[in-house]
Amino acid sequence: MNKDKPWGGRFTEATDAFVETFTASVGFDQRLYRHDILGSLAHAQMLAHVGVLTETERDAIAKGLKQIEAEIESGAFAWSVALEDVHMNIEARLIDRIGDAGKKLHTGRSRNDQVATDIRLYLRDGIDTVLAAIRRLQLAMLDVAEREADTVMPGFTHLQVAQPVTFGHHLLAWFEMLVRDAARFRDCRGRVNVLPLGSAALAGTSFPVDRAYTAKLLGFETVAENSIDAVSDRDFAIEFAAAAALLMTHLSRMSEELILWSTSQFAFVELSDAFCTGSSIMPQKKNPDVPELVRGKSGRVTGNLVALLTLMKAQPLAYNKDNQEDKEPLFDTLDTVLGCLRVYTDMLPAMQVRRERLSQAAAAGFSTATDLADYLVRKGVAFRDAHEVVGRAVRLAIESRRDLAAIPLNELQQFSPQIGADVYAVLTPEGSVQARNHVGGTAPAQVRAAIHRARERLASKPQ
């Protein structure tokens, strides 16, 4: 006791207690309990298989672990900070319950390969859940795209009206982003699905472990080749976070569009009341909170990715306690992604698409100027000359405050004698989208064909 110092005794005491909580992870890693128990069951089974445990010991361990699982699920399990993490909490409770056999479970294993195994099992399930959630959102998008395959709207570049497109085609652009997101998660899953157990602390174990046997029990595709690498690297978790950050970036871009489209200036869509909230002071307000929150949450997922990259970056081989910090960003990433996907899946089909308003907007802003140029090319004018001619026609339209389609034929013919009465068909947004009739184009028939192919692509994917 530092009685000389007014703060001494207290400080030492407080520091010890604080370090205990400071180094503990049980507050958050208890979420791994199911996967921790799964890993332990397989490990015990393997130890019995190679003769390190007796069958009686194995059975006692299995029974004890299953009881502990039930105890945790019922909420009766007393988690202890003094026991630091989920692994030691469960192991201590096992010894409590079954005695000596429990003390043998950790033979040939370290918390280092144990935790790496737990996270891989957990993430594998997490990825499967995310893939199923992406698929549900994709199916919702296809339904809306089908409903709006004929709906014309302005397409934008630089957020300036560019050319007419169909609403269905725009939604299929969103769909494609998700196709690649799902592919990234699937690809990452292959590298997650590798067994670390058997690596022990870092050098492997002196017991005759059968790693392939454990891998098979746990559904891992392969065993990690190198024990030092297996307990240390979390690159698979970083990949997961990167795939999630990209997915969230896509959802954030969609959100930005929905927010813009919901303004009275655009008025392209109206989100259902169920996905908006009001203002406590302005009675007229209906705010697009859900897309705004999704856009905001993309920030935390990108933050989680950066946290994980930074966490890994300076670590020497092999395991370091730094890695304990991988869990919260991972859990948060998974929760955030699943929440956003879910809310989008419900929100999109409930959104009202304001077709009349979209069609008016599609006709404005000289969106069919390119169609006029293409028309002249078909009449034998070189594209660069046609571009120039249409530019001058647009100038006249701007100066006289008319749309291109409102300029009479004789006036249009001043710019090029090749312009005939049939020009007005190409100056409508409907004509413009119909004309883009090729794979990947915006014509309603192409959108329907693309939706058909999209459904087939989804059906052919295992997940």
Among 25, 163, 336, 368, binds ligand ARG (CB under 6 A): 25
Give me the residues paired with residue 154 across strands. Answer: 164
Among 52, 61, 94, 115, binds ligand ARG (CB under 6 A): 115
Query: What is the closest distance, in whole angstroms, from the C-beta atom of residue 106 to ligand ARG in the complex?
Result: 12
CB neighbours of 426 closer than 8 A, spacing ≥ 6? 368, 371, 372, 374, 375, 432, 435
Does residue number 148 form part of the binding site for ligand ARG (CB under 6 A)? no
Q: Which CB, 35 or 295, lies closer to ligand ARG?
A: 35
Catalytic annotation present for 387: no
Q: Which CB, 88 or 293, lies closer to ligand ARG?
A: 88
Catalytic residue among 80, 279, 400, 452: 279
**Binding-residue pattern over the window 28 to 57 for ligand ARG, x denoting contact by CB under 6 A:** -x----------------------------
Q: Which CB, 112 or 432, lies closer to ligand ARG?
A: 112
Does residue number 112 form part of the binding site for ligand ARG (CB under 6 A)? yes
Q: Which CB, 126 or 441, lies closer to ligand ARG?
A: 126
For the chain, what is the HEC assignment?
CCCCCCCHHHHHHHHHHHHHHHHCCHHHHHHHHHHHHHHHHHHHHHHHHCCCCCHHHHHHHHHHHHHHHHHHHHCCCCCCHHHCCHHHHHHHHHHHHHCHHHHCCCCCCCHHHHHHHHHHHHHHHHHHHHHHHHHHHHHHHHHHHHHCCCCEEEEEECCEEEEEEEHHHHHHHHHHHHHHHHHHHHHHHHHHCEECCCCCCCCCCCCCCCHHHHHHHHCCCEECCCHHHHHHCCHHHHHHHHHHHHHHHHHHHHHHHHHHHCCCCCCCEECCHHHCECCCCCCCCCECHHHHHHHHHHHHHHHHHHHHHHHHHCCCCCCCHHHHHHHHHHHHHHHHHHHHHHHHHHHCCCCEECHHHHHHHHHCCCCCHHHHHHHHHHCCCCHHHHHHHHHHHHHHHHHCCCCHHHCCHHHHHCCCCCCCCCHHHHCCHHHHHHHCCCCCCCCHHHHHHHHHHHHHHHHHCCC
Among 111, 120, 211, 297, binds ligand ARG (CB under 6 A): 111
276 touches 343 (CB < 8 A): no
Catalytic annotation present for 452: no
Q: Which CB, 29 or 239, lies closer to ligand ARG?
A: 29
Q: Which CB, 27 or 391, lies closer to ligand ARG?
A: 27
Q: Which listed range, 5-13, 110-118, 190-198, 421-429, lies at the site for ligand ARG (CB under 6 A)?
A: 110-118
Question: Which of positions 79-108 make contact with ligand ARG (CB under 6 A)?
Answer: 85
Query: What is the closest distance, in whole angstroms, from the C-beta atom of residue 34 to ligand ARG in the complex?
Result: 16
Does residue number 22 form part of the binding site for ligand ARG (CB under 6 A)? no
State both tokens at 371.
């169609």
Backbone angles phi, psi at 117, to 5 degrees: -65, -45
Q: Which listed range, 11-19, 48-56, 317-325, 362-370, lies at the site for ligand ARG (CB under 6 A)?
A: 317-325
Query: What is the closest distance, in whole angstroms, from the C-beta atom of residue 37 to ligand ARG in the complex?
Result: 15
Query: What is the closest distance, in whole angstroms, from the C-beta atom of residue 319 to ligand ARG in the complex?
Result: 6
Query: What is the closest distance, in whole angstroms, from the C-beta atom of residue 228 to ligand ARG in the complex?
Result: 14
Q: Which CB, 31 or 184, lies closer to ligand ARG?
A: 31
Q: Which listed range, 109-117, 150-158, 172-180, 373-381, lies at the site for ligand ARG (CB under 6 A)?
A: 109-117
Among 214, 304, 324, 432, binds ligand ARG (CB under 6 A): 324
**Binding-residue pattern over the window 357 to 396 for ligand ARG, x denoting contact by CB under 6 A:** ----------------------------------------
Does residue number 323 form part of the binding site for ligand ARG (CB under 6 A)? yes
Query: What is the closest distance, in whole angstroms, from the C-beta atom of residue 364 to ligand ARG in the complex?
Result: 58
Rounded Cα distance between 329 and 311, Å, is 11
136 touches 341 (CB < 8 A): yes
Q: Which listed range, 35-43, 55-63, 111-119, 391-399, lies at the site for ligand ARG (CB under 6 A)?
A: 111-119
Catalytic residue among 40, 74, 106, 158: 158
Footprint of ligand ARG (CB under 6 A):
25, 29, 85, 111-112, 115, 321, 323-324
Q: Annotated active-site positions, please?
A: 158, 279
